[in-house]
A = this chain, B = another copy of it.
Amino acid sequence: MLNDSPQLDRAFQALADPVRRGMLARLSRGAASVSELAAPLDISLPAVMQHLKALEQSGLVRSEKKGRVRTVQLEPKALSAAEAWIAGRRAEWEARLDRFEAHLSTLKRDGEPQ
């Protein structure tokens, strides 16, 4: 498990903003243009562009321009990477708890050794 990953930094950083999470939520229901992403938001277009840039650099999103319209898509791989990091830590913690509880019940069954 690699904690020192600029890619994970960027992914979690991107996820830390409610505006960007909103954009991701919208994108999870299907690809969208920049203006479609901007429509429900109360911020300027350039601000949206900057959020989009953060999302692209984190790898959470991919976009392509056709004519004058840029279409943005979710990139589930980066989403998985972030999810997996968390899941890994939680799994480790819970495995440790399980071992501890197993140990406790052993003591209960056999009586404290020595």
Contact = CB atoms under 8 A, between A and B. Distances in A.
Interface of A: 1, 3-5, 8-10, 12-13, 15-18, 21-22, 24-25, 27-30, 74, 76, 79-80, 82-83, 85-90, 92-94, 96
Given A16-B12, A74-B93, A80-B90, A85 B4 contact: no
Nearest to A20: B3
Contacts of A93: 27-28, 74, 76, 79
B3 A89 contact: no
A54 to B, nearest CB: 11
Contacts of A86: 15, 79, 82-83, 86
23 contacts: A1-B25, A3-B18, A3-B21, A3-B25, A4-B18, A5-B18, A8-B21, A9-B17, A9-B18, A10-B16, A12-B13, A12-B15, A13-B16, A15-B16, A15-B82, A28-B93, A29-B92, A74-B89, A76-B94, A79-B90, A79-B93, A80-B90, A83-B83
